Amino acid sequence: MISKNLLEIRDLVKHFPLKKTGLFQPPRYVFAVNGVSFSLKKGQTLGLVGESGCGKTTTGRVILRLEESTSGVVEFEGRKVAQFNKKELKNFRESAQMIFQDPFASLNPRMNVGAIVEEPLLVHAIGNKADRKDRVAAVLEKVGLEADYMRRFPHEFSGGQRQRIGIARVLTLNPKLIIADEPLSALDVSIQAQIINLLVRLQEEFYLSYLFISHDLAVVEHIANRVAIMYLGKITEVAPSTDLYSDPRHPYTKALLSSIPIPDPQAKMERQILQGDIPNPANPPSGCGFRTRCPIAKIVCRIESPKMVKVGKDHYAACHTL
Amino acid sequence: MATENNNVPVLSIRDLRTYFHTQEGVSRAVDGVSYDVFRGGTLGVVGESGCGKSVTALSILRLIPTPPGEIVSGEIQLEGQDLLGLPMKKMRSIRGNQISMIFQEPMTSLNPVFTIGNQLSKVFRLHQNLSRKKADKKAIEILYACEIPSPERVMNAYPHQLSGGMRQRAMIAMALGGNPKVLIADEPTTALDVTIQAQILDLILRLKKEFGMAMILITHNLGIVAKGAQRVVVMYAGEKVEEADVSDIFERSQHPYTKALMNSIPVLGKRTKFLEEIKGVVPAPFRFIPGCKFADRCPEVIAQCLETRPQPRERERGHWVACFC
């Protein structure tokens, strides 16, 4: 059976072991990703939103097998990624790529732009020298940079331009899936708009699918078709973008939305300010991870972790009160 | 209209120029900036990287490393008293006492090898000459006022043992210890998680009111400006391009940069296909630009913009714009 989803994740788990603090201590883990499931259709954007320690970056890395999962299934075009052999994994990486958060750390400072953007073609042995040069020039122009920039080095560019170089590097292989991990966080506000628009244009032109990881709800609302909210390694709510913002059902989603200050001095907001800090993912609360800050927590929340239930069309949330 | 009910500026900056001498040339980080902060008011200073908003704040406290930095010219006055000419000994008694600052990254501005209690009570021992016992007591009181749940425990903790939000609260406590007249908050919530940002912003605004301080709120986040500021200064490439009451900045901004900035942010609840872009990039601070620094990106540029630098002019009451448009 051919899956109509480009990417499907089922019960994904990733635990990082911590060093033992004593000879007879029990093993401790960081429960980074603790049972995550979602799917992504071709040409669509899924936003993955959450705060520190929620596991969104780890999820992205496990999907690309930059880390091996502890358990669970990652399926790309209907095939299980964990079972790929070396050759299949290499092919997979031609189709699934990542854009990173830090435009200063993700480019090798000792390679010029041409070499950086060309590298994926070399790794996958695509084309000859002339073909590669043409491809690099074409892809640089697609992201709004001049082909001439090939000769320059990363330090000669601004943050926004370096992020464009990172995007160009990803595009050289004609990928199907792009995981963008906080691609805008290190950029100035007015540059963010440029990069968002670029990503939207490229998606249309090349029918790309994005997994857009971010903590910025306003940006995600703008660019994603569907949004999944994560907290302490689990998805708390997932819905089509418009529904999540107009009709949030999970108390964490409501708190997140009301935490964002609106750029309008007249706006009267019903502010739901959460008390307390985000728990340590190495020591999550029993039952529902959100219960320590939840305004409507009940006894059952302490005992049992809530399952995802349907609360609307394509709209799911994990909360005992629903 | 302006909500300040007296026109006495508690802090006044006139034509400040702070330059940095580097190998690549002279970086004109602050290039002729003037603004006032009124008693009990909050001035929001908005701009992107390199606009000079932080360097202006550091200049007020004379925390600019010299060399390579240099406050080349200008006047800074606290309640009429000149600050730039003060001997360093006197300046030190003003820092943390009459003018305090909170920074973006609490982990880099708290000393990692001393406990919070040690650092915090120092404020009271230094500025109020209290004994250690009395200073510790005051420190606990102010930690409590900053919504830290178990102040005694935090007194004995080291910065790395606290979460980001807790560290920021500790830093706020240190800043308030001297009961300052002016609090400079430089991107106080940027490094924090979204839900914690909301807590800290609320705390700062509440404490400001309780302590009766004036505040300079430096940020690139227009949502925070809308919530916290009464007057707003917009900076670009070392200059002030617009200044007005907060409602005027949002509803009737006049400078092309301010307008473009407002339109380029995605706002919750207002989804469009494409955001308005500002083409190009901020000019490198070493380049000497004879005319307006925004000219090469401005959609309303005219010939005069390239030759002459526009000065801020009061277009309407309380609304200043540096533009020939």
Contact B274 A274 (CB under 8 A): no
At B56 the three-state DSSP class reads: helix
- Residue A225 is part of a domain; what is its CATH number? 3.40.50.300
Rounded distance, CA B169 to CA B181, Å? Answer: 19
| Residue A135 belongs to a domain | yes
Contact B49 A188 (CB under 8 A): yes
**Nearest-by-Cβ selection for B261 from A190, A221, A266:** A190
Tokens of B324: 């020939």
Rounded distance, CA A70 to CA A163, Å? Answer: 32
Whether the CB of A230 is below 8 Å from some CB of chain B: the reply is no
* Contact residues, A window 144-173, toward B, CB-based 8 Å cutoff: 158, 160-161
pLDDT digits (tens, 9 = 90+) for B73-129: 999 999 999 999 999 999 999 998 999 999 888 888 899 999 999 999 999 998 888
What does the DSSP 8-state code read for residue B282?
Answer: P
Contact A266 B247 (CB under 8 A): yes
Whether the CB of A22 is below 8 Å from some CB of chain B: the reply is no
Rounded distance, CA B46 to CA A44, Å? Answer: 35
Q: Is the peptide bond before A284 cis (omega within 30 degrees of 0)?
A: no
Q: Packing angle between helix B116-128 and helix B132-145, nearest 10 degrees? A: 110
Task: Provide the domain limits for residue A252.
Answer: 5-17+29-318
Given the DSSP bridges, would you call strands A45-49 and B231-236 parallel, antiparallel or unpaired?
unpaired
pLDDT digits (tens, 9 = 90+) for B53-76: 999 999 999 999 988 999 999 999
Sheet with A315-318: list strands edge to edge: A96-99, A177-181, A209-214, A45-49, A226-231, A234-240, A315-318, A308-312
How far off is chain A from B259, nearest CA to CA, in Å? 11
| Residue A24 belongs to a domain | no
Given the DSSP bridges, would you call strands A226-231 and A45-49 parallel, antiparallel or unpaired?
parallel
Rounded distance, CA B294 to CA B112, Å? Answer: 41
Contact B48 A188 (CB under 8 A): yes
Query: Is the pLDDT assigned to residue B44 strictly greater than 90?
Result: yes
Picking from B193, B206, B217, B282 by the largest number of A CB atoms within 10 A of its own CB, the best residue to mutate is B193
What is the amino acid identity at position A68? Answer: E
pLDDT digits (tens, 9 = 90+) for A188-233: 888 899 999 999 999 999 999 999 999 988 899 889 999 999 999 9
Q: Is the pTM of this model over 0.90?
A: no
Contact A160 B166 (CB under 8 A): no
What does the DSSP 8-state code read for residue B51?
Answer: S
Picking from B281, B282, B286, B298 by the largest number of A CB atoms within 10 A of its own CB, the best residue to mutate is B281
Sign of the alpha-carbon torsion through A255, A256, A257, A258: positive
Contact B269 A51 (CB under 8 A): no
Question: How many domains, chain A?
Answer: 1
What band does A119 get if pLDDT is binned at 50, 70 and 90? very high
Distances in Å between the Cα of B35 and the Cα atoms of A3, A28, B40, B75 are 62, 55, 15, 11
| Residue A180 belongs to a domain | yes
Range with top average pLDDT, A275-284, B123-132, B159-168, B235-244? B235-244
Rounded distance, CA B308 to CA B315, Å? Answer: 19
CATH 3.40.50.300 range(s) for chain B read 9-98+180-321
Contact A259 B198 (CB under 8 A): yes
Of B297, B294, B289, B292, residue with least CA distance to B311: B292
Superfamily per CATH, domain B9-98+180-321: P-loop containing nucleotide triphosphate hydrolases (3.40.50.300)
| Residue A22 belongs to a domain | no
pLDDT digits (tens, 9 = 90+) for B162-215: 988 899 999 999 999 889 999 999 999 988 888 888 899 999 999 999 999 999
| Residue A313 belongs to a domain | yes
Q: What is the predicted pLDDT for the residue at B2?
A: 45
Rounded distance, CA B268 to CA B265, Å? Answer: 10
**Nearest-by-Cβ selection for A265 from B49, B247, B279:** B247
Rounded distance, CA B216 to CA B46, Å? Answer: 10
